[in-house]
A = this chain, B = another copy of it.
Amino acid sequence: MSSAASTDDRRYVLSLGCPDRTGIVARISAFLAEIGGWIVEAAYHADADTGWFFTRQAVRASSISLSLEEMRERFAEVAAELGPETEWTLTDTGERKRVVLLVSKEGHCLHDLLGRVAAGELQCDVAAVIGNHPDLERVTKRHGVDFHYVSFPKDPAERGPAFEQVRKLVDAHDPHAVVLARFMQVLPPELCEHWAGRAINIHHSFLPSFIGARPYHQAFARGVKLIGATCHYVTAELDAGPIIEQDVIRVDHTDEVADMVRQGRDIEKLVLARGLRWHLEDRVQVHGRKTVVFS
């Protein structure tokens, strides 16, 4: 896939979903042509199952004389023509996105993401890291990022205040993504709702296999020949949110649980990094329980 990272160019990215009918592409592209927009990337998907149409178009910012705000105003009229169910966003790759990471004790995803941000691979700033254990404070601070430790009571029934504290710490940054980077805590439904479409989890199995706790132990017990990882949006139903990305790695009878844990980490890192990148580049559109990913 092409990426903003691969050129110096700033782009305006239009994402849209609406009921399918003839003439949508013509209407949108006429609009873009009218304002002089040079299309760098364009992707379409007409979903036969749901009768829905999806598109993502990246236009060179320099080719358009309107401000982003003016462009949004003008496009709102086009969107209105496409019907009341139409959902769309128009974003600017020149705007730096903010991410907050929720972690626990396992640091491999955190280490990997911080490294990618430092290397310029992910176009975002890590605004803060919040841990329900203090273990990852040092590695976080080394990267010059704030770390907040929030203590979680053992009794799940008493965790309300802790989640409330997490919520405040996260919302202070109004982030584009809240990443559960092996957070190991199930978000309460109200937080799932509050961060809907922004909370991204990495689950260490190939969902829907091995939902819930200790998936590598479950995989070992079942004797599967591949283990996987799944990056998905968080919803109130555990590990059942729309899947953004998945991948697998081969294991065999010589692999004990500890070997699966070690090898699985490599897949978790890759799958989370890809999923987060696509999310931040507005390449992911959610429709019902599923995603359209214009990677």
Contacts and interface: CB of A to CB of B under 8 A. Distances in A.
Nearest to A111: B115
A112 interface: yes
Contacts of A266: 270, 273
State the main secondary structure of chain A at its contact with B: mixed
Contacts of A262: 3, 5-6, 121
Contacts of A43: 43-44
A159 to B, nearest CB: 28
Chain B CB count within 10 A is highest, among A118, A207, A266, for: A266
Task: Give the contact-size bracket for chain A.
Answer: 35 or more
B270 A246 contact: no
A115 B108 contact: yes
A112 B32 CA distance: 43
A104 to B, nearest CB: 14
A246 to B, nearest CB: 4
Contact of A23 (B25, B33, B210): B33
Contacts of A171: none
A163 B189 CA distance: 50
